[in-house]
Amino acid sequence: MKRYLLLLFALGYGVAAAGREVIPFNEGWRFYFQSEKSSDNARSVTLPHSWNTDPTAGQLFIETTGCYLNTLHVPASWAGQRLFVKFYGAQSVADLFVNGKLVGSHCGGATAFVFEITDRVRFGAENDLLVTVNNSTRNDVLPTSTDINRYGGLYRPAELILTSPTAVSPLYLGTDGVLVHPQTVSSEKVAGEIEIHLTSRTEENCQLTLDIIGANGRRVFSQRQRVRADGNPVVVPFTVEQPRLWSPARPALHTVKVTLTTTSGKILDSTTVRTGFVSRGWCDNQLTINDKPIAVRGVSLYHDSALSGGTPTEQDMDADLRQVEDLGANALRSVVMPHAQYFYNRCDEKGFLVWVDIPFHRAFLSDVAYYPTPQFEQNGLQQLREIVAQHLNHPSVTMWGIFAQLWMRGDNPVRYIRQLHAEAHRLDPSRPTVACSDQDGEINFVTDLIVWRQDVGWSKGTPDDVTVWRDQLRSKWSHLHSAIAYGGPGIPGHRAQPYRTVPDPNCMPEERQTRFHEGYTRNLQGDSLLWGMWINNLFDYGSTRYPYGVDGKGLVTFDRRTRKDAYYLYRALWNRRSPTLHLTGKHTTVRAGEQQVFRIYSSAGVPLLRVGADTVALHEYAERQYQSDTVTLPLGRVVVRASAGKLRDSVILRIGSAPAPRPKQAPRRTGGR
């Protein structure tokens, strides 16, 4: 590690007259479990790192405390500067020790945090760093209820930040110290304030220069003023005439640059952030972006995959967003907690609308999601502040999720929800709050928007029964800004078992998931009562609380390799740039019955279906959804082909005789006569 940092310094990464330097701090770590009692057998690791590498490990999934060691050589030439260490994520509670002394703690696995270590290190010498990380559930750290795997570890990157004694603060809620607050946004003018947090060991007077660079690379605003770095934030009003606004169709981005100099002109620090100017509002129960209504077609995204567990790479995130694009969705929800900053940078560039949750969440009926203790409530508020501050500059972030699927049992959480809602608006008046609810009552009347988590027609009845719920919502609660979130599990290869009198809870036929989504889209797509439809989920995600170690509600499997039939349903309905043709049921190629019905999703026009050598008639049973009448097939191998325009799809089926029904067993005698 000493050689690594000295090499960086020699290559020009040491502090220079131009201000701060940022040095990656991902190499040279050694890991061991606290239960090992000694670091003698510590393993060399590179960040990001998690000690749970297998997302489907079941009972082997470990909730414990892990220890990360590093040796940091601090050159003597850095004396007189300030040194910070930034971790972009630790799941879930972290403590940092430098040379055996506690520097600080952070509680919450979703956000970045920064510690200053200037007074703890020895310049011109090697320094020992120890980070302890615990991923166990605690009743004073949110979330206390979740079905996601908390993989544990320093699961996002880390870096060292070297600055002059007076600098733009890296310490403010884990941000870069620059927060952009547009207050008036139109195509004629953007006006607002930029909040800049400074830190100084001398409270010296300095010059602050603020520049805003437009999407075309030209400076559109500049302000220079004298400030005193006394710990109070500096607020600079700004105005941009004739701005290029950010929108999903045209995601224009601006760069905000802050430079600190001495009164004699020497550069003390310089930092930049990227943002976009966008107005959000409502008209006729539709979200408006820059005064234009937009129908929200959203998908929920969790944070892991079978490929990388809980430490997704930038390539993983890019691949996931390409699937969002291919589906035709224009919005996504970061469920339970935020994704990495890189993820939202890409959303800014691609024009997605994003809903970011705070980790106030209930997963199972037996869980306690809300503890009315000062420690719990302060942690929730602190995590909210960090989430808002760290994502405020992202124009793609459109709403703050305050809670998800809380119940109205035991201690009533409404008072606390009101407190979270008010704090979110204090921190950011420009965005609405939102909640995902599956309960009745006053819990639904706090946030600006409400998304109803609905499963009518899944456990009983049919998906068409959702119309009864919709009509009740329209007659009683149409004044609410309502959307819907829904989904059910389906695993490719599972098939219905009609001979069973008691359903197998471990059997999750993909066909059942498909019919559920078809019913909801048929009855709700385009309904003016709802400002959005949110699909649970785009991808299966790891959860030791479910069979097979995954939640199977995704439209795509956990390994990202198999798109389920429901994926193509939404692609046919939502993707306007690339046509869809898809034969459903291709994951079940061996079929017992000779009589079959075929369904096709097509946005390329009316498809043509050939079964063997015969052409089979189709009828459109819902928008872009086609179905044949019952077709009697010969036993053995049958080729099924579909075409529409230039698109082709096919499947080879193996048709066998239906299995004989299982014989009924006589009841077992358990006693005397």
Comma-separated ranges of CATH 3.20.20.80 domains in the chain: 294-578
Render pLDDT for 259-285 as a digit per residue (tens, 0 to 9): 999 988 999 999 999 999 999 999 999
pLDDT band at 366 (very low <50, low <70, confident <90, very high): confident
**pLDDT value for 665:** 47
**What phi and psi, each to the nearest 5 degrees, are found at residue 665?**
-90, 140
For domain 2-165, give the CATH superfamily.
Answer: Galactose-binding domain-like (2.60.120.260)
Higher pLDDT, 13 or 379: 379
Q: Which residue has the tokens 């929200």?
A: 296
pLDDT band at 58 (very low <50, low <70, confident <90, very high): low
**Average pLDDT, integer, range 57-79:** 90
Higher pLDDT, 264 or 19: 264
**What phi and psi, each to the nearest 5 degrees, are found at residue 346?**
-70, -35
**Average pLDDT, integer, range 101-108:** 98
**pLDDT value for 61:** 82
- Asked if the model's pLDDT at residue 18 lies above 90, the reply is no
**pLDDT value for 671:** 36
Render pLDDT for 115-146 as a digit per residue (tens, 0 to 9): 999 999 999 999 999 999 999 999 999 999 99
Hey, how many other C-beta atoms are within 10 angstroms of the C-beta on 35?
A: 10
Cα-based distances in Å from 625 to 64, 584, 599, 610? 49, 10, 7, 17
Cα-based distances in Å from 9 to 25, 78, 87, 491? 13, 10, 21, 52
Mean pLDDT score of the chain, rounded to an integer?
92
User: CA-CA distance, 370 to 360, in Å (whole number)?
Assistant: 8
CATH topology of domain 294-578: TIM Barrel (3.20.20)
- CATH placement of domain 178-280: 2.60.40.10
**Average pLDDT, integer, range 457-463:** 93
Coil vs helix vs strand at 47:
coil
| C-alpha atoms less than 13 angstroms from C-alpha of 164 in its C-beta half-sphere | 23
- Asked if the model's pLDDT at residue 666 lies above 70, the reply is no
Task: Give the distance, in angstroms, between the CA of residue 462 and the centroid of all CA atoms in the same chain.
Answer: 31
**pLDDT value for 54:** 65
Comma-separated ranges of CATH 2.60.40.10 domains in the chain: 178-280, 590-655
Render pLDDT for 474-496 as a digit per residue (tens, 0 to 9): 999 999 999 999 999 999 988 87
**Average pLDDT, integer, range 9-19:** 42
Evaluate whether 658 touches 635 at the Cβ level (below 8 Å): no
Query: What are the counts of helices (DSSP H) followed by strands (DSSP E) for the chain?
Result: 8, 43
CATH topology of domain 590-655: Immunoglobulin-like (2.60.40)
Render pLDDT for 558-605 as a digit per residue (tens, 0 to 9): 999 999 999 999 999 999 999 999 999 999 999 888 999 999 999 999
Render pLDDT for 615-625 as a digit per residue (tens, 0 to 9): 999 999 999 99
**pLDDT value for 505:** 73
**pLDDT value for 410:** 84
**Average pLDDT, integer, range 93-115:** 98
User: CA-CA distance, 213 to 220, in Å (whole number)?
Assistant: 6
- Asked if the model's pLDDT at residue 6 lies above 80, the reply is no
Evaluate whether 451 touches 481 at the Cβ level (below 8 Å): no
Q: Are strands 21-24 and 280-283 parallel, antiparallel or unpaired?
A: unpaired
% of the chain exceeding 70 in pLDDT: 93
- Asked if the model's pLDDT at residue 662 lies above 80, the reply is no
Residues β-bridged to residue 70: 129
- Asked if the model's pLDDT at residue 661 lies above 80, the reply is no
Q: Report DSSP state, residue 668.
A: P
Q: What is the largest CA-CA distance in the chain?
A: 106
% of the chain exceeding 90 in pLDDT: 86
Evaluate whether 610 touches 618 at the Cβ level (below 8 Å): no
**Average pLDDT, integer, range 624-650:** 96
Comma-separated ranges of CATH 2.60.120.260 domains in the chain: 2-165
Render pLDDT for 330-343 as a digit per residue (tens, 0 to 9): 999 999 999 999 99
Higher pLDDT, 609 or 58: 609
